[in-house]
Amino acid sequence: MRRLLLFVPLLLTFAVPAAAQAPGEWNGARAPELLGQARARRATPHADSGLVDYQARATGYVYFYLDRKDTDERTLVKVDQVALDVYWGAPNRTKQRIVGLRDVSRLPNRMAYHLDHLTIVQDEFGDVIRMGEGDEVRDVPHPAAPGADSIYDFRLADSLTLRLAGSPEPVRVYELQVRPRRLDRPAFLGSLYVDRTTADIVRMNFTFTPVSYVDRRLDYIRVSLDNGLWQGKYWLPHEQRVEIRRQLPELDFPAGGVIRGTLRVGGYRFNQSLPESVFRGYPVTAVPAQMRESFPFETGLYDGLNEE
């Protein structure tokens, strides 16, 4: 029997500014250079790393709140807990399987989530960002996509030195701030964090211009994608946070619905020679409902609320 080795990420122990510095000029020489390196790296992210495939487990929660404008409180309506098996194979094949899913409702509701509210972003959204299967956001150019220089302004905002447990050398990360040149077009607004040595994108924090929202009831979508450094050389998904606020005009009082999702990925297994059959069919599948509901979650349905 082949031995399967599980690895844990090099966890961040502390981060300090590399040097006190003011943000650079928008579209200054250094920002486009770093962006070009990140763009080239995205084209072949693991070509020189020896990574052939991986399997991992993602778990997390999705919360649905009622958010009244006349109070500072949010009322919890529904909690979903999800578990997924996550697969990747070179050059860029992906597959996710929902193996656990359970929920509880605190108030009557008809909430049904889009599939991508319950799954992991494995490719930093590709060159075009879509959310809600295109019903919420579609056709937003990724700031590191080819041709994005004509759509966005970039600024080198900060640099951090990350000292990671188990890593012999500190990791230098640069923050690239991104803003659209035109606010009347669908666009990304936020920051990319780039590994100075490898040019891997290690974190993305962003929202969208208002015209990006296909559903005009949307107030905002906020996204945070964090990668972890595995085996000292693979930047791979570690934590994903999404918050979506939508107006609810059908109610008799001013309120909105807020979806907050947090997913964490771990238990990576590398280079197992995954068979081609793993990647056949739809990119996201699910085991039968009875199996999903009986999945042995290690935490309770409400355990994640302490972090909210």
pLDDT of residue 21: 52
Phi-psi region of 266 (alpha: psi -120 to 50; beta: other; left: phi over 0): beta
The answer to the question of residue 84 being in a domain is yes
pLDDT value at position 162? 81
The predicted structure's pLDDT at residue 14:
38
Query: How many domains, in total, are found in the chain?
Result: 1
Average pLDDT of the residues of the chain = 89
Residue 198 has pLDDT above 70, yes or no: yes
Residue 15 has pLDDT above 50, yes or no: no
Per-residue confidence at 7, pLDDT binned at 50, 70, 90? very low
Rg (CA), the chain: 20
CA–CA distance, 67 with 89 (Å, rounded to integer) = 41
Query: Which positions ≥6 away from 82 have C-beta within 8 Å?
Result: 58, 59, 60, 61, 62, 98, 100, 101, 118, 263
Residue 35 has pLDDT above 60, yes or no: yes
With cut-offs at 50, 70 and 90, classify the pLDDT of residue 72. confident
Residue 36 lies in a domain: yes
SS3 of 148, please?
helix
**pLDDT per residue over 214-252, tens digit each?**
999 999 999 999 999 998 889 999 999 999 999 987 765
In a domain, 38, yes or no: yes
* CA–CA–CA angle 218, 224, 227 (5° rounding): 155
Structural domain harbouring 117: 6-295
Q: What is the pLDDT of residues 256-303, one digit of tens each?
A: 999 999 999 999 999 999 999 999 999 999 999 999 999 999 999 999
Q: Please tell me the distance from the alpha carbon of residue 280 to that of residue 10, in angstroms, as a whole number.
A: 32
Q: Is residue 300 part of a domain?
A: no
> What CA–CA distances, in Å, run from 110 to 25, 78, 113, 275?
48, 10, 10, 39
Residue 139 lies in a domain: yes
Q: What number of other Cβ atoms are within 10 A of residue 257's Cβ?
A: 20
Residue at 306 is within a domain? no
Among 47-51, 95-99, 233-237, the least confident range: 47-51
Alpha-carbon distance of 177 to 192, in angstroms, equals: 6
Taking the C-alpha atoms of residue 97 and residue 264, their distance in angstroms, rounded to an integer, is: 15
Q: Which residue type occupies 227?
A: N
In the structure encoding, which two tokens stand for residue 35, read together?
């962006």
Q: Does residue 165 fall inside a structural domain? A: yes
Q: Is 89 exposed, middle or buried (0-12, 13-18, 19+ CB in 10 A)?
A: buried
pTM of the model: 0.90
- The letter for the amino acid at 170 is P
Residue carrying structure tokens 């991986």: 54
* pLDDT for 170: 86
Q: Which residues contact 10 (CB under 8 A, 6 or more apart)?
A: 164, 165, 166, 167, 228, 229, 230, 232
Nearest to 145 by CA among 128, 170, 168: 128
pLDDT of residue 160: 87
Q: Which two tokens stand for residue 179?
A: 């803003």
What was the pLDDT predicted at 165?
Answer: 63
How do 284-286 and 93-105 pair as beta strands? parallel
* 45-63: burial string, b at 16+ Cβ within 10 Å, e else: bbeeeebebbbbbbbbbbb
Q: Which residue has the higher pLDDT, 107 or 165?
A: 107
Asked if residue 229 belongs to a domain, the reply is yes
Q: How sure is the predictor about 22, in pLDDT bands with cuts at 50, 70 and 90?
A: low
Q: Give the pLDDT mean for 198-213.
A: 96
* Percent of the chain whose pLDDT exceeds 90: 73
